[in-house]
Structure 1
């Protein structure tokens, strides 16, 4: 869920070997255990050549997903769904590819798996950043995202930014591998003082019980997880500061560098959907708001 940062200046988070961040991950670890870990995709080799033509001929495209809501996951009915999966179904059908085959793997294996031809495209709402753009090519983002805090009702410590957390010496938690780790450290929170929890539900429980003052995540995560809480609320979305500038992240589909024709055809369709409003209609059921629709481009985010 959490967004991928660039390194901040304040403590130039050029950490010697930065800890793995789930959504800010570059290469990650090795692709999960071959055929068993990657499901039906296995370790089959993909022919080289015109990928778009091949996929049309096969009538099937394999989507690398990370099993993460709301991007690509298995719902209570056992079906693959999510904003990226549903968007892929529409766009690839219009490109003449009627069948999408989601391949669930660990987030850290998405880029290695794509380049190892375990699947044809990454469909996981992956954040677009400079480091990733050196490994894959991206379609323009389908959404943009800000951060938000889960805090006690009334926000007693007045926490609206990572700088507020430092000033008030609030106890902050975030998720394992979240980009918010980097944002907090960049603002001056000692990394050893960060509480790392399994997921936003654990974060909500920690805030409600008073174990921590704040749980940091994306705006989408925050407003979703507090819906039924009587003790906690989500703060207004905000943009973390990166090198003194507000940082807005965007997520999109990733393709192999050799598949620019496929990426370009995908881009044509996604821009049509942005213009018509269809894109928002697909993303809205998964918790996205109009404010999270974007005109950012992959080129901008790659810089």
Structure 2
């Protein structure tokens, strides 16, 4: 996932592409959020959509991660997921969206205790998360890429290259790329964990590491103004020995299948018309990131 947007199957923070928080985070959020938990609906499939229509606003859990969901310099909510949410929820009869910022690793726990109504953070769909929440179908797909020094002096193009050439490797907090590197044979304790792709770029430019792994989108965006670093060509990481493509999607509480299904209907319309790409393009997404992957496929169902 990773900017990242980034985001896999490793259970460990803020992205993307990033993964689930631990039991402590769940406990802390549960204690903090108890007073805000509404009564659970007895309606089959949930009645959250009806309640959102009546309220006129939907609360979006975001992780403050560019380009997925963040508050810009003007104090406005934006990013690929919030902008998509504005369009879809408007079509569903909900006029406004409201941001509820939190750390990426706290998104699923926060959703569970109803601190917000939906996760809108470009979260990667994987079996571990599918056991906790239900996902809409992915609104984008994503390959991995590396940030390396100009000219890629060590010839690093895959995780296997990183292992074989004993390169100093970094990635972001909670990124799915941690597990991809470990699966390739990199020792987890040797991985440098940094806050995000900007910190990763700085580490590469300063020579503290040879390579930073993130999503293809975030790496290509962050190196645009760098004179010392470049992004490698996108590639598929190996999961279970097989090439893998990640997909990011909105997440809902498991009881709210009616809302998830209604969201998917509108998402499919946007894909078919080409409007989805127009919404996501300002955030660096290209036709290569459009996808027909389904949540069921990525959940392993």
TM-score of the superposition, structure 1-length normalised? Answer: 0.89
Q: 1:208 to 1:4 in 2, by over 3 A?
A: closer
Maintained 8 Å contact 1:72/1:84:
yes
Question: Would the alpha carbon gap of residues 42 and 221 (structure 1) be closer, same or farther in structure 2, given more than 3 Å must change?
Answer: farther
Q: Give 1:111's aligned residue.
A: 108
SS of equivalent residue, structure 1 residue 30: helix
Distance in 2 between residues matched to 1:134 and 1:243, nearest whole Å: 19
Residues of 2 paired with 1:252 and 1:159: CA distance?
29
1:45 aligns with 2:38: yes
1:298 to 272, 291, 295: 295
Question: Any gaps of 5 or more consecutive residues in structure 1?
Answer: 8-17
In structure 1, the partner of 2:180 is 183
RMSD value over aligned CA atoms? 2.1
Aligned residues: 290
Residue 33 to residue 24, structure 1, CA distance change in 2 (3 Å): closer
Measure the CA separation in 1 of the matches of 2:14 and 2:77: 24
Q: 1:31 to 1:119 in 2, by over 3 A?
A: farther
Could you say if the C-alpha distance between residues 119 and 218 of structure 1 is closer, same or farther in structure 2, counting changes exceeding 3 Å?
same
Alignment of 1:118-129 (within 5 A): 118-129=115-126
Asked if 1 retains the 8 angstrom alpha-carbon contact of 2:29 and 2:109, the reply is no
Give yes or no for contact 2:70–2:78 (8 Å, CA) kept in 1: yes
Residue 34 of structure 1 deviates from its aligned partner by: 8.0
Distance of aligned partners of 1:148 and 1:20 in 2 relative to their CA distance in 1, 3 Å threshold? same
- Which TM-score applies when normalising by structure 2? 0.90
1:61-95 C-alpha deviation (Å, 9 max, x unpaired): 11111111111101010111110000000000000
Instruction: Confirm or deny: 8 A CA contact 1:31 1:109 kept in the other structure.
Output: no
1:112 offset after TM fit, Å? 1.5
- Is 1:284 the counterpart of 2:281? The answer is yes
1:139 paired with 2:142, answer no
Distance in 2 (alpha carbons) for counterparts of 1:274 and 1:151: 34
